[in-house]
């Protein structure tokens, strides 16, 4: 290409980038309909980026996920909301992953077995006394959980292998024979074994993760367990009936039907039914130019454009229709809370992230790139909830180094979160391999990006009415159902 052509192209690009007023042009809708639509220049530029990034708006891409009405998802819903799956019958999965809280808990750091009032959820959920949080990470949303192809958890410690799934119960990269048929089933077997999340200190004390799961199944099935661990007969009758219906085995005995595997499978199907992908951005990608606002379109341009083209290249990690490349990166997230650990005695309240799984030096401080679908509803943000506004989170992603250096722990709404080590830990993170440098950014771009991120919210997740199908109605629920108050 001659230098002349390059110069002309650049001028055109510059003009396009500066264009504020809508210039109209006509292009075909992707659905091949013959009617032409008028689009602004901005829409045309976005359309090009959408093609370049291979976006279709159809994140499911033929994947079959269960309907919430399916018998197994219905059983899973009752289990997900049941406190009977925790050692002291005081925590349910829904205590930390409630549909009305964006599939999370609205806390920076989750509160499990030590809650002051087990039925209180959301901002008002507190630890007993002056306890400091013991769960080191933020609860990710369970919404769209069935769309992950490779990893569960912030550090990916459950992973899809070519054959099978690896979990913390086996050596990394070895298949776990008990992992079940998909990542979500595999994951559902772990929260019940965590002392801080659900198990408590006393249930099946001295037992293994597997024996803990089996004791819980025995409790639900009223076989094996004795004493305080037992459930009232009315409840165990309920479960036997519910499992028989869901698995369509009307005469099977509890010993065969209510096992740690059938429990995890049902929990998995319920969560996999939480598909919330019907957002304005999808409609925009599929041709409805009026689906999102002009400021959001500006944000989209900034999100998808490369740096050289005046954007922030967010999509280099938040890729595709699911907005994640499922890779691990060190983006210098301020390390608040107790931390999950490190290999040094000097580093406290630290979290080595992916390194804890692989022990690979490059993986220190790396965490899985989150999906951004429904991100406006899933705060606080970051693997430890360090940011309590989407705006602050976006500022961090624009310039991680500056944001981390000036991190304001005053934004935390939850009491007693340790933050003493943030500066020390940042120094350690910087000595490693930060995967993102700081970059200068335009002040007004922050709000454009936030506006764009809001277009990724499926209206259903903002509507209690719409979400009602994913919440047990009460009437036909067992006694142990979580009586949530917000
Ligand atoms: C005390 C709060 C708490 C409870 C109770 C709890 N979770 Fe979680 N959950 C978390 C936290 C925190 C994480 C992130 C842990 C990590 O990545 O290291 C998580 C991670 C997950 C993930 C992985 C999400 C992802 O994007 O990879 C799923 C799925 C999940 N939990 C489902 C469940 C199920 C099913 C139950 C009940 C059996 C449950 N959780 C109980 C707090 C909780
Ligand atoms: C180098 C890869 C990379 C790039 C580029 C990137 N991100 Fe991220 N993003 C991540 C990772 C990794 C996390 C999670 C970090 C953690 O929790 O420690 C994250 C977290 C987020 C979150 C919080 C999500 C949640 O659920 O907690 C938002 C919002 C976000 N990024 C938006 C953006 C925006 C906007 C841009 C562009 C300005 C961007 N990101 C650029 C990798 C990236």
pLDDT digits (tens, 9 = 90+) for 239-261: 999 999 999 999 999 999 999 99
CA distances from 429 to 180, 404, 410, 417 (A): 36, 10, 22, 20
Q: For residue 93, report the distance from its CA to the centre of ligand 2, in Å.
A: 26
Q: For residue 397, report the distance from its CA to the centre of ligand 2, in Å.
A: 6
Q: What is the pLDDT of residue 436?
A: 86
Instruction: Return the number of other C-beta atoms located less than 10 Å from residue 122's C-beta.
Output: 15
pLDDT digits (tens, 9 = 90+) for 378-404: 999 999 999 999 999 999 999 999 999
List the domain boundaries for the chain: 71-274+465-470, 313-440
For the domain spanning 71-274+465-470, the CATH number is 1.10.760.10
The mean pLDDT of 189-209, rounded to a whole number, is 94
* Contact 191 CB / ligand 1 (< 6 Å): yes
Nearest to 33 by CA among 214, 288, 378, 278: 288
Counting Cα atoms < 13 Å in the Cβ hemisphere of 214 gives 9
Mutate which of 315, 369, 384, 395 for ligand 2? The one with the most ligand atoms within 8 Å of its CB, which is 369
Counting Cα atoms < 13 Å in the Cβ hemisphere of 90 gives 19
Nearest to 107 by CA among 430, 265, 337, 324: 337
- Tokens 């018998």 — which residue? 71
Burial group, residue 462, by CB count within 10 angstroms (0-12, 13-18, 19+): middle
- Tokens 């490190």 — which residue? 342
Q: For residue 51, report the distance from its CA to the centre of ligand 2, in Å.
A: 22
Looking at ligand 1, which atom is closest to the CA of residue 95?
Answer: 5
CB 39 within 8 A of CB 289: yes
CA distances from 227 to 86, 91, 113, 222, 224 (A): 16, 20, 20, 11, 10
CB 263 within 8 A of CB 79: yes
What CA–CA distance (Å, rounded) separates 132 from 379?
20
- The CATH T-level fold of domain 313-440 is Cytochrome Bc1 Complex; Chain D, domain 2 (1.10.760)
Same fold, 71-274+465-470 and 313-440: yes
* Contact 371 CB / ligand 1 (< 6 Å): no
| 20 vs 298: which has the higher pLDDT | 298
- Residue 18: pLDDT band (50, 70, 90) is very low
> What is the residue with the minimal CA distance to atom 19 of ligand 2?
369
What CA–CA distance (Å, rounded) separates 156 from 326?
9
Ligand 2 pocket, Cβ-based, cut-off 6 angstroms: 312-314, 316-318, 329, 331, 333, 367, 369-370, 372, 375, 378, 381-383, 393-394, 397-398, 435-436, 449
> What is the residue with the minimal CA distance to atom 12 of ligand 1?
139
pLDDT digits (tens, 9 = 90+) for 307-356: 999 999 999 999 999 999 999 999 999 999 999 988 776 778 999 999 99
The mean pLDDT of 77-82, rounded to a whole number, is 98
- Backbone φ and ψ of 447, nearest 5°: -65, -35
């Amino acid at each position: 290409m001659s230098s002349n052509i390059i110069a002309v192209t650049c001028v055109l690009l510059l003009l396009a980038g500066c264009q504020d007023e809508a210039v109209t042009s006509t292009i075909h809708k992707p659905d091949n309909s013959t009617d032409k639509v008028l689009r602004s220049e901005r829409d045309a530029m976005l359309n090009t980026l959408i093609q370049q990034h291979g976006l279709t708006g159809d994140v499911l891409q033929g994947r079959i996920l269960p309907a919430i009405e399916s018998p197994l998802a219905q059983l899973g819903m009752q289990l997900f909301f049941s406190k009977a799956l925790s050692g002291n019958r005081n925590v349910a999965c829904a205590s930390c992953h409630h549909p009305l809280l964006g599939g999370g808990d609205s806390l920076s750091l989750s509160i499990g077995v030590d809650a002051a009032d087990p039925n209180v959820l959301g901002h008002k959920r507190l630890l007993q006394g002056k306890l400091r949080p013991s769960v080191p990470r933020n609860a990710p949303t369970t919404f769209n959980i069935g769309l992950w192809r490779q990893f569960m958890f912030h550090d990916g410690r459950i992973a899809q292998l070519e054959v099978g799934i690896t979990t913390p119960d086996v050596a990394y990269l070895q298949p776990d024979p008990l992992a079940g048929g998909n990542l979500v089933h595999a994951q559902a077997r772990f929260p019940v074994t965590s002392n801080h999340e659900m198990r408590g200190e006393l249930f099946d004390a001295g037992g293994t993760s597997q024996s803990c799961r089996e004791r819980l199944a025995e409790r639900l099935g009223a076989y094996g367990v004795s004493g305080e661990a037992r459930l009232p007969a009315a409840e165990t009758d309920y479960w036997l009936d519910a499992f028989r219906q869901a698995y369509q085995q009307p005469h099977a005995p509890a010993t065969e039907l209510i096992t740690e595997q059938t429990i995890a499978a049902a929990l998995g199907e319920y969560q996999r039914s939480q598909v919330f992908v019907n957002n304005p951005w999808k409609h925009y990608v599929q041709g409805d130019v009026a689906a999102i606002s002009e400021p959001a379109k500006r944000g989209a341009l900034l999100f998808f454009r490369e740096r050289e083209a005046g954007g922030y290249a967010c999509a280099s990690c938040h890729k595709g229709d699911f907005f994640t490349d499922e890779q691990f990166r060190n983006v210098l997230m301020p390390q608040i809370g107790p931390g999950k650990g490190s290999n040094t005695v000097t580093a406290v309240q630290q979290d080595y992230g992916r390194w804890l799984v692989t022990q690979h030096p490059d993986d220190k401080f790396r965490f899985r790139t989150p999906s951004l679908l429904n991100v406006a509803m899933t705060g606080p943000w970051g693997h430890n909830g360090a940011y309590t506004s989407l705006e602050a989170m976006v500022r961090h992603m624009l310039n991680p180094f500056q944001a981390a250096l000036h991190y304001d722990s005053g934004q935390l709404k939850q009491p007693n979160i340790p933050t003493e080590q943030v500066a020390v830990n940042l120094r350690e993170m910087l000595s490693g391999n930060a995967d993102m440098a700081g970059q200068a950014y335009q002040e007004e771009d922050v709000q454009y990006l936030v506006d764009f991120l809001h277009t990724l919210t499926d209206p259903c997740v903002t509507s209690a009415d719409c979400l009602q199908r994913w919440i047990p109605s009460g009437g036909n629920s067992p006694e142990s159902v979580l009586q949530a108050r917000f």
